[in-house]
Amino acid sequence: MLYLGCHLSSAGGFAAMGKTAVKIHANTFQFFLRNPRGGAAKDIKQEDIAEYKKIASENKFGKILAHAPYTLNPCSKDASIREFAQNVFADDLQRMENIPGNLYNFHPGSHVGQGVDVAIPQIVEILDAVMPEAKNTTVLLETMSGKGSEVGSRFEELAEIISKTKINDKKKLGVCLDTCHVYSAGYDIVNRLDDVLEEFDKVIGLDRLQAIHLNDSMTEFNSHKDRHECLGKGSLGTEALIRFINHPALRGIPLNLETPNELDGYAKEIDLLRRNYKE
């Protein structure tokens, strides 16, 4: 089954996102629970949730993916920023309980000079503190491009975070792979997809891979930049992305586009991928 969607605005609530998804032939989507800068969260209305659940089940949606605000930095040098990250993270996970069985993705953060060895225990500490809130949600660490001092551009870093947490249940803590980010980080998913997935399996475990961000990249391989591009207009190219979604190891994992598009652009990319997916 191809679960394919894109990032949608949550301004109109869950049912509105569900309806939009159906309109553009998506059967999953990504959204923010609050302003991406980390402001106040939107009220969750039970009627809206009930209507959303009906749309999702009628249209056989896959798991949907909430994205943490970009300002959430669990490994900031600044203790007050780490505290903010923990509070927002915990609050978001409590909100996710309204839509049980879905996914919450976050960036491991930027260590801003203090080094990965300091950053990783800080990320682990926050994860251990907030995970009890994730009763029916799977939390995902996103693979990063490695721009600036980002943590998580190497599979080893994500594996180390996961192994150092107290969370034993594999279904609770996983990874979201971003195609633009990994390619920018130096994993050649255009020419060596099998090898990259084998490496992911060896280092992290493919059973941890629970969501994919499908993006082309404005910058070249191994550039350590984070510039998403529309499918086919970047350095990955349409062919590589079609090969990617058809890879046997990635079947059934929900894919979300984060390409620089409005809805009609997303709809075109979704249709292109659906036409080129072999059941």
Among Fe ion, Zn ion, none, partner that 226 touches (CB below 5 to 8 angstroms by kind): Zn ion
Candidates 237, 215, 239; CA nearest to 228 is 215
The residues facing 18 across adjacent strands are: none
Least distance (Å) from Zn ion to the CB of residue 275?
26
49 versus 112: smaller Cβ distance to Fe ion: 112
Interface residue with Fe ion among 48, 92, 160, 178 (CB under 5 A) is: 178
Tell me the C-alpha distance between 77 and 97, whole Å. Answer: 31
From the list 21-29, 59-67, 224-232, 239-247, the region that binds Zn ion by CB under 5 A is 224-232
Least distance (Å) from Zn ion to the CB of residue 107?
9
Q: What letter represents residue 154's amino acid?
A: R
Beta strands in the chain (DSSP E): 4-6, 30-32, 65-67, 102-106, 137-142, 173-178, 209-214, 216-217, 228-229, 255-257
70 versus 97: smaller Cβ distance to Fe ion: 70
Residue in the structure block whose two tokens are 């594996």: 159
Sequence-separated (6 or more) residues with CB below 8 Å from residue 123: 74, 75, 108, 109, 151, 161
Q: Which of residues 109-148 bind Fe ion (CB under 5 A)?
A: 142
157 versus 226: smaller Cβ distance to Zn ion: 226
The residues facing 211 across adjacent strands are: 176
Interaction between residue 160 and Fe ion (CB under 5 A)? no
Tell me the C-alpha distance between 22 and 29, whole Å. Answer: 10
Interface residue with Zn ion among 190, 226, 231, 255 (CB under 5 A) is: 226
CA atoms within 13 A on the CB side of 173: 22
Least distance (Å) from Fe ion to the CB of residue 262?
18
Least distance (Å) from Zn ion to the CB of residue 178?
6
Residue nearest to Zn ion (CB): 226
Secondary structure letter of residue 234 according to DSSP: S
Q: Cβ distance 212 to 177 under 8 Å?
A: yes
Interface residue with Fe ion among 28, 213, 240, 257 (CB under 5 A) is: 213
14 versus 187: smaller Cβ distance to Zn ion: 187
19 versus 71: smaller Cβ distance to Fe ion: 71
48 versus 226: smaller Cβ distance to Zn ion: 226
Collapsing DSSP states into helix, strand and coil, what is residue 20?
helix
Residues that bind Zn ion (CB under 5 A): 226
